[in-house]
Amino acid sequence: MSEIPLVQLLTPEGERVTHPEYESTLGKDEIFGMHRDMTIIRRLCNEATSLQRQGQLALWAPLQGQEAAQIGAGRALQPMDFTFPSYREHGIAWCRGIPPEKWLRLFRAVDHGGWDPQQYRHSVPTIVIGNQALNAVGYAMGVQRDGAEEATMVFFGDGATSEGDVNEAFVWAGSFDAPIVFFVQNNQWAISEPTVRQSKIPLYRRAEGFGFPGIRVDGNDVLAVHEVTKRALAHAREGGGPTLIEAFTYRMGAHTTSDDPTRYRIDADVEVWKHRDPLERVKAYLVRQHQVPASEFDATSAEADALAAKLREDVLAMDSPDPLSIFEYAYADVHPLIEEGKRDMIELGVGGGAH
Partner 1 sequence: MAQMTMAKALNEGLRRALEDNPKVLLMGEDIGKLGGVFRVTDGLQKDFGEDRIIDSPLAESGIVGTSVGLAIRGYRPVCEIQFDGFVYPAFDQIVSQVAKLHSRSHGVYKMALVIRIPFGGQIGAIEHHSESPEGYFAHTAGLRVVSPTTPNDAYWMIQQAITHDDPIIFCEPKCRYWEKGEVDLDRPPRGLFDAHVAREGTDVTVIAYGPSVRTAVRAAEAASAEGRSVEVIDARSIAPLDFPPMVASVQKTGRLVVVAEAPANASVASEVVARLTEECFYSLRAPALRVTGYHTPYPPSRVEEEYLPNIDRILDAVDRVMGFES
Partner 2 sequence: MWKVAVGDTIALNQPLIDIETAKATVELPSPYAGVVTKLHGEVGDVVPVGAPLIEIEVGGGDAAPLATPAEPATTPQGEGRTAVLVGYGVATNEGAPTRHRRRGGAVAPAPAPPAPITSTAPALAPRSTPPVRLYAKQHGIDIESIQGTGRDGLITRSDVERVVSGGTPRARSAPAAPTGVTRFVGHELAPWESGPKEERIPVRGVLRSMADAMVQSAFSAPHAAAWVRVDASKSVELLSALKSRPSMANVRLSPLTLVALALCDAARHFPGINSRFDDAAGEVIVRRSVALGIAADTPRGLIVPNIKDADTLDLVGMADALTTLVEKARAGTTTPNEMIGTTLTITNVGPFGIDGAMPILPPGTSAIVAVGQIAKAPWVVDDEVVVRHVVEIAMSFDHRCIDGALASSVLAHVGRFLNDPAPALLAR
Ligand X SMILES: Cc1ncc(C[n+]2csc(CCOP(=O)(O)OP(=O)(O)O)c2C)c(N)n1
Positions marked active-site: 251, 255, 264
Q: How many residues bind ligand X (CB under 6 A)?
A: 15
Closest approach of partner 1 to the CB of residue 262, in Å: 10
- Which amino acid does the sequence have at 63? L
Per CB under 8 A, 111 contacts partner 1: yes
Query: 82 to each of 151, 252, 304, 305, 354, how far by Cα in Å?
Result: 7, 28, 27, 30, 40
Per CB under 5 A, 187 contacts Mg ion: yes
Question: By CB neighbour count within 10 A (0-12 exposed, 13-18 middle, 19+ buried), where does 82 fall?
Answer: buried
Contacts of 164 (CB under 8 A, 6+ apart): 130
**Binder to partner 1 among 234, 270, 292, 338 (CB under 8 A)?**
338
* x/- map, 35-64, partner 2, by CB under 8 A: -----------xx-xx-xxxxxxxx-----
Per CB under 8 A, 107 contacts partner 1: yes
Residues 120-139 within binding reach of ligand X (CB under 6 A): 127-129
Per CB under 5 A, 158 contacts Mg ion: yes
What 226-230 contacts at long range (C-beta under 8 Å, 24+ apart), as own/partner pairs, is 226/24, 226/26, 226/34, 226/71, 226/72, 226/73, 226/75, 226/76, 227/7, 227/9, 227/22, 227/23, 227/24, 227/76, 228/7, 228/22, 229/72, 229/73, 229/76, 229/153, 229/181, 229/183, 230/76
Per CB under 6 A, 117 contacts ligand X: no
Per CB under 6 A, 316 contacts ligand X: no
Residues 295-324 within binding reach of partner 2 (CB under 8 A): 312, 320
Q: Interacting stretch for partner 1, rule CB under 8 A, among 134-142, 147-155, 158-166, 239-247?
A: 158-166
Give the interface with partner 2 as residue ranges (CB under 8 A): 46-47, 49-50, 52-59, 108-109, 254, 256-260, 262, 312, 320, 347-350, 354
